[in-house]
């Protein structure tokens, strides 16, 4: 009996939480005119028209976003792992200060840096490009090193010593010992970074290439580009779901690792 109530509670919670997306999904299968009547009715004549149109408009930026997110996420995670390791295991002067500044940096709102970034771009003579955007994302992911640092603190040094005795230099050490052991945290960082970068709008608009905008900007453009005055809700919903699909899939496939990684101490008090 108690189990039953638990299951019921769980299902109820799931339904309530899933409601917004379910409604969006349902409405994305409606015809444009039907959607004007209200959001809560089932589609009378379900059609894929909105989805086809959304794909047509967005598939280009889909690719752009992928080309942006994959390198940026991998690079930032790798860098964070390396930096976290170094911060943890090698002593140097002022490392306490560095730790402090990194923690603080983690919480700074980076939108305020939009204008100084633009000026720096000018001083360095850089052009808007995907590479620039990736670089910016990587730089601002520096504080992620803290995740790895926390994790590595628990490592016994003996593992490293053993590898050193075998003649491993810094890179070998990293590749053979450190990275494999940091897998749970790595996954957490990958997931969080992918979500952040995939969903990011402003920097993509300002620093990304002119004619090849990431999907967030394309989505905004789509919402504003109405043919008639009335909003084309099915199209907007299909487009929003399309844009959200990759991150949703990531959480589906790697959700378990996400929680496991958190257990491993990614976010510890």
Residues within window 248-267 making contact with other proteins, judged by CB under 8 A:
248, 250-252, 255-256, 258-259, 262-263, 267
Of 20-28, 42-50, 54-62, 65-73: span binding other proteins (CB under 8 A): 20-28
Phi, psi of 166 (to 5 degrees): -75, 0
> Does residue 20 interact with other proteins by CB under 8 A?
yes
How remote is the C-alpha of 259 from its chain's centroid? 16
Distance in angstroms (rounded) separating the CA atoms of residues 47 and 26: 11
* Cβ 176 to other proteins shortest distance, Å: 14
> Does residue 99 interact with other proteins by CB under 8 A?
yes
Long-range contacts of 151-155 (CB under 8 A, 24+ apart): 151/84, 151/182, 151/184, 151/185, 151/264, 151/265, 151/266, 152/84, 152/85, 152/88, 152/89, 152/178, 152/182, 153/88, 154/265, 155/88, 155/181
Per-residue x/- mask for other proteins, residues 193 to 212, rule CB under 8 A?
Answer: --x--xxxxx--xx---x--
> Does residue 103 interact with other proteins by CB under 8 A?
yes
From 49, 71, 221, 257, residue interacting with other proteins (rule: CB under 8 A):
221
Of 49-57, 61-69, 110-118: span binding other proteins (CB under 8 A): 110-118
Are 201 and 133 in contact by the 8 Å Cβ rule? The answer is no
From 61, 65, 76, 83, residue interacting with other proteins (rule: CB under 8 A):
83
Calculate the dihedral angle through the C-alpha atoms of 102, 103, 105, 109, rounding to the nearest 10 degrees: 160
From 17, 52, 161, 166, residue interacting with other proteins (rule: CB under 8 A):
17
Of 55, 22, 49, 15, nearest to 34 by C-alpha is: 49
From 64, 68, 144, 146, residue interacting with other proteins (rule: CB under 8 A):
146
From 149, 152, 193, 204, residue interacting with other proteins (rule: CB under 8 A):
149
> Does residue 139 interact with other proteins by CB under 8 A?
yes
What string of DSSP letters covers 18-45?
HHHHHHHHHHHTS-TTGGGG-SSSPPSS
Residue number, 74 or 79, with CB nearest to other proteins: 79
Residue number, 70 or 164, with CB nearest to other proteins: 164
> Does residue 269 interact with other proteins by CB under 8 A?
yes
> Does residue 230 interact with other proteins by CB under 8 A?
yes
Write the CA distances from 219 to 58, 170, 199, 269, integer angstroms.
8, 44, 11, 38
From 53, 66, 75, 98, residue interacting with other proteins (rule: CB under 8 A):
98
* Cβ 61 to other proteins shortest distance, Å: 13
Applying the rule CB under 8 A, the residues between 53 and 72 that interact with other proteins are none
């Amino acid at each position: 009996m108690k189990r039953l109530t638990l299951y019921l509670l769980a299902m109820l919670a799931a339904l309530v939480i899933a409601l917004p997306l379910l409604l969006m999904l349902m409405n994305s299968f409606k015809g444009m005119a039907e959607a004007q009547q209200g959001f809560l009715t089932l589609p009378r004549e379900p059609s894929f028209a909105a989805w086809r149109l959304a794909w047509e408009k967005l598939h280009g930026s889909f690719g752009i976003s992928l080309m942006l997110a994959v390198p940026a996420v991998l690079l930032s995670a790798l860098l964070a792992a390396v930096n976290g390791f170094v911060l943890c295991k090698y002593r140097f002067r002022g490392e306490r200060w560095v730790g402090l500044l990194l923690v603080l940096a983690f919480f700074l709102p980076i939108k305020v840096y939009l204008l100084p970034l633009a000026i720096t771009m000018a001083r360095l003579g850089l052009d808007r490009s995907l590479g620039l955007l990736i670089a910016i994302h990587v730089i601002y992911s520096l504080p992620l090193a803290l995740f790895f640092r926390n994790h590595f603190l628990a490592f016994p040094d003996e593992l490293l010593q053993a590898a050193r005795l075998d003649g491993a230099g810094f890179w070998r050490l990293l590749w053979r010992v450190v990275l494999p052991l940091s897998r749970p945290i790595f996954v957490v960082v990958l997931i969080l970074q992918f979500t952040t970068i995939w969903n990011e709008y402003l920097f993509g608009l300002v620093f990304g290439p002119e004619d090849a905008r990431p999907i967030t900007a394309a989505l905004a453009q789509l919402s504003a580009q109405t043919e008639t005055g009335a909003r084309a809700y099915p199209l907007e919903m299909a487009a929003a779901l399309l844009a959200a699909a990759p991150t949703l899939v990531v959480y589906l496939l790697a959700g378990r690792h996400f929680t496991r990684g958190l257990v491993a101490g990614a976010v510890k008090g």
